[in-house]
Structure 1
Amino acid sequence: MEKVVAVLMTADGDDDWCERLRGPVAAAIVQLGVPGLSVNVRDGAVRDSLMTFTTLDPPVAAVVSMWTQQCYGEQLAAALALLQKEAAHLAAYLVTESVPLAPPVDSGSRTPGLANIALLRRPPGLDQETWLNRWQRDHTPVAIETQATFGYTQNWVVRALTPHAPAIAGIVEELFPAEAVSDLKAFFGAADEDDLHNRLNRMLASTTAFGANENIDTVPTSRYLIKTPFRT
């Protein structure tokens, strides 16, 4: 089984659009028989998050994760065709998934809190092996220790599946308490200003080591696990 992450870019992603994507569009994808589906939408509950950075134009308004038997099969092609109708630009990526901190698996409802998604780019001067080691082996424990995460998923991009897809090396989803939308202390799990400062410094040093301190998109979303591909 393979995982594909689709990134939907549009300037028109209002709450009606978000509801349609996680409702009838998601239902139509499930009808195709995909083993697993989650939909992340940048809706009113999280849209004004402090931790938002955008380089893409139009910006990312949703991220859809699908599990399929064949990333090159008719099932996925049909799913991407449905998503393409909803976006100004659609980019899909075949990924390998690592889950350092397992997210909730209750299907069909909104996961509480903020699902912050980061699109990572590998700096030209950093070879792939070094970049992966610094991201996954070195940075992972720092990210978990310095932030108030209760779910952490890393997707290393194997290749793009759609034409003209932006060059993305990794896609991260981290889950935070709802207060993290507007409160940096809640985002980092800091007890006071000194603690926040220390956590920010550790985080910055760690992200700088693999180039995630710049040229990054962070997208605040609401997460909907529509169908889990794994038995619980």
Structure 2
Amino acid sequence: MSKEMNSDTSSVESLQTEEIALSDDIVVSFLQDNPEFFNRHPELVTSLRVQDFQRGTVSLVERQQQLLRTKVHNLEEEITHLMSVANQNEQLFVLYSDLYLRLLDCKDSTELLDCLTQATTELLSLSGLKLWLAQPADIAHSSICNENCQDIFDNRLAQETYYFGRLQQSEQQQIFSESVLGSVVLIKLSDQHGTIGFLAISSQDADHFDPRMDTLLISQFTRLVSKLLRQHIASK
């Protein structure tokens, strides 16, 4: 009997120990369910001390103030970044609008490629531009890629309109006839009549052409260049 009683007592003590054991989740849940807790114990707000990595031990009020200051600082940085992005987008919109008018005034494919090359290297400060045509055309221009890039097209653009990022060295040599240290964008040119080819634009900045970048402006650019290039090729 004594052994059974001792066993029962141990079980009860074990259960009591488990019942009073607190965890972070229990404390958090209690405070969330009882927001008036600190109203009932206002002295805890200033008497409780928490560890701060920069200032050592501080009160809950000081800790809350620090968190609020950090949050405000982060919001200010985010707003500054958004304003910077908005300003850059506005400048790009104006630049593209001017470029569209210049492209529409081009009399032939050579003038069109002159305009695109100038816009790429001078206005956008990018490294270079190349045009690969799926079907040979009577166009003499330094931007024309004379290599057979059908394998690159099939690999990079068969299912996509754009490719942003890095190219293999063999692909770089095929398109640009040299190694490209930064990033590139490949732009599929096509219309209702089929595939025309692709534009390849390079940047010395390895992060300039990123798969996450917005394609709104470049999609309008793509449609216009495809239409104009098809018209000029057909008029040859």
User: TM-score with structure 1 length normalisation?
Assistant: 0.30
Choose between structure 1 and 2: higher strand proportion. 1
The structure that has the greater radius of gyration is 2
Q: What is the TM-score of this pair, normalised by structure 2?
A: 0.30
Instruction: Please identify which structure carries the higher helix content.
Output: 2
Query: Relative contact order: is structure 1 or structure 2 higher (C-alpha 8 Å, sep ≥ 6)?
Result: 1
